[in-house]
Structure 1
Amino acid sequence: MLTTQAQREAFRTDGAVLVENCLDPAQLARCYEAFKWNVANPGPYHFRSLDGTSLQTHIDNANPVVKDKLDALVATLPFGKVFQELWGSEHVWYFAEEVFAKEGGRSGRGPWHQDTANLPWAGRHWGNAWITFQAIPKKNSLEIVRGSHLGIQYDGASFSNADDPTDPLYGDGTFPRLPHIDKDLAADPNAWDVLSWSVTPGDVVFLHPRSLHGGAAVDAGCPTRHTLVLRFFGDDATFRALPMSNPRYARNGPLFSEEMAKLDEGQAFRSPVFRQIA
């Protein structure tokens, strides 16, 4: 087994777990090469709404030009086996990558959000593998609200208003508005039960994407955080249509939208476009 019973239980109840030394140096180097290529060659889903603000971060998703190479890369990594264990799923499929580049010690925190607000995902068997290539102190690391993957589905964050991280993605009443978690924590450090870890290169944070999560800011003591997120799903993964009120995300979400249009509400999340790795 690549995970312990305690880690498997933590993922299922808390929605996130740190697995230390998950990647060996060669695997980590291959992941970093993929990250650097992606940053140098932005895809059509490169996110620029926060450019010029205190939250400016290079964010990109599911670059189609590099899909074949990443499909091949994930087959060389241990994540199929890890997610089989964390989920108790017989099968594992790879969805796509997401990259984050925070540099210069100036990028503020990534707003709290749930990936399932803007991607048409439901079910227990979803997981993100969060890989960073620098040693990251806990105060600059990814943060997750413990157990939130089992709780309320909130509206998404628009990621376009640096002054209001709860600015809604839809705002149509389908989902309740995001709470202002940072403001709550400033008033009461115990207002939310937040998980976070210091991370050494080779360690991987695994989280359920329905968890409320966000990335802490970089600063002078930790000026750079390069992160590659690889996303996976298993047997208990289903399609859940998104609200129609935001044209960019209407029903199918922005990624693999043609494939998503072929799926019905509640149908098993499957498509030949996604590589099966276990």
Structure 2
Amino acid sequence: MIDEATKQQFREDGAALIKNWLNPQQMDEIHEAFLWSVANPGPHVFNRLDGTELQTHIDNANPRAKDKFDDLVARMPFADLYAELWGSEHVWYYAEEVFVKDGGASGRGPWHQDTSVMPLAGEHWGNAWISFQSLPKKNSLEIIRASHHGVRYDGASFSNADDPTDPAFGDGTLPRLPHIDRDLAQDPNSWDVMSWAVEPGDIVALHPSSLHGGAGVDQETPTRHTLVLRFFGDDATFRVLPESNPRYARNGFLFTEEMAKLNDGDPFRSPIFRQLR
């Protein structure tokens, strides 16, 4: 179902475009769950950049939507996708993240690695990045090739619209994020950026340790509604985070009670996560 070149690209580059993986009916079902979640936000809804040019509705692992998304992913071909990409016998579903950018006025998302502020490690992690609109390459997600096997940087605080490298921890445990957009403006070849135009039904599959960002909107592409569904497999482990920021200390900010039961290097497992195969 997935050709060997795509599997190799995901393993080596940390991301791959999977064309037409979801059919229109499946996309309609996913969009319905997405819209419900937007209308019924959870406790982790993001608002630190409200009122700035980067204002975006972002919500993570909404407990009110958990049953909807658990049921949805169990009925759709996500487990097949990631089992093939990873070569994993088992696949579990982690959680969703919703993004809403409207009005053509929200700029690029800051570059970051999810694993800087989420206690995740291992090869068998995968984000399914799904857009409900057709997006040209300039408005699509951007990924730094092979960065999932490179440096793990400090997280972005996402609270300083003027400095996308403002750190989440800032205690020296992890190196500060590079200013990738500034580097690229000075030298377009300074970073190896991957990106694709996408259509509804396509999936951008990426490892959450990949440096990724971008996907802004503008007057030509004023709306971008996207859903990220996260999955993990056999080679997924727990990694303790720095203690200096209470929001993320040790266990991250999601499923904190479950994460507190795990030790550094333990297999990433908990009954709270739906096993798909």
Q: Please report the TM-score for the alignment, with normalisation by the length of structure 1.
A: 0.99
Where does residue 143 of structure 1 map in the other structure? 142
Rounded to whole Å, the distance in 1 between the matches of 2:206 and 2:167 is 23
Rounded to whole Å, the distance in 1 between the matches of 2:162 and 2:76 is 39
Where does residue 43 of structure 1 map in the other structure? 42
The 5 Å alignment of 1:76-95 reads: 76-95=75-94
**How many corresponding residue pairs?**
277
SS in 1 for 2:273: coil
> 4+ residue runs of structure 1 moved beyond 6 angstroms?
none
Rounded to whole Å, the distance in 1 between the matches of 2:195 and 2:169 is 29
Where does residue 29 of structure 1 map in the other structure? 28
| Residue type of the alignment partner of 2:80 | K
| Residue type of the alignment partner of 1:90 | E
SS in 2 for 1:157: coil
Rounded to whole Å, the distance in 2 between the matches of 1:29 and 1:217 is 23
Where does residue 266 of structure 1 map in the other structure? 265
Aligned: 1:61 with 2:60: yes
The 5 Å alignment of 1:1-278 reads: 1=1, 3-278=2-277
Rounded to whole Å, the distance in 2 between the matches of 1:46 and 1:117 is 19
| Residue type of the alignment partner of 1:77 | M
Identity rate of aligned residues, in percent? 71
Q: Please report the TM-score for the alignment, with normalisation by the length of structure 2.
A: 0.99
Alpha-carbon distance, 1:102 to partner = 0.6
Rounded to whole Å, the distance in 1 between the matches of 2:98 and 2:215 is 15
Rounded to whole Å, the distance in 2 between the matches of 1:215 and 1:254 is 23
| Residue type of the alignment partner of 2:261 | K
Alpha-carbon distance, 1:216 to partner = 2.5
Rounded to whole Å, the distance in 2 between the matches of 1:30 and 1:16 is 25
Rounded to whole Å, the distance in 1 between the matches of 2:242 and 2:274 is 27
Rounded to whole Å, the distance in 1 between the matches of 2:198 and 2:264 is 38
Rounded to whole Å, the distance in 1 between the matches of 2:132 and 2:122 is 30
Tell me the alpha carbon deviations over residues 122-179 of structure 1, each in whole angstroms, 9 at most, x when there is no partner: 0000000000000000000000000000000000000000000000000001100000
Rounded to whole Å, the distance in 2 between the matches of 1:176 and 1:169 is 11
| Residue type of the alignment partner of 1:135 | S
Alpha-carbon distance, 1:69 to partner = 1.2
Rounded to whole Å, the distance in 1 between the matches of 2:62 and 2:214 is 21
Q: Calculate the aligned-residue CA RMSD, in Å.
A: 0.5
SS in 2 for 1:7: helix
Unaligned residue ranges in structure 2 (runs of 5+): none
Rounded to whole Å, the distance in 2 between the matches of 1:158 and 1:17 is 27
| Residue type of the alignment partner of 2:13 | D
| Residue type of the alignment partner of 1:245 | S
Rounded to whole Å, the distance in 1 between the matches of 2:186 and 2:85 is 35
Alpha-carbon distance, 1:76 to partner = 1.3
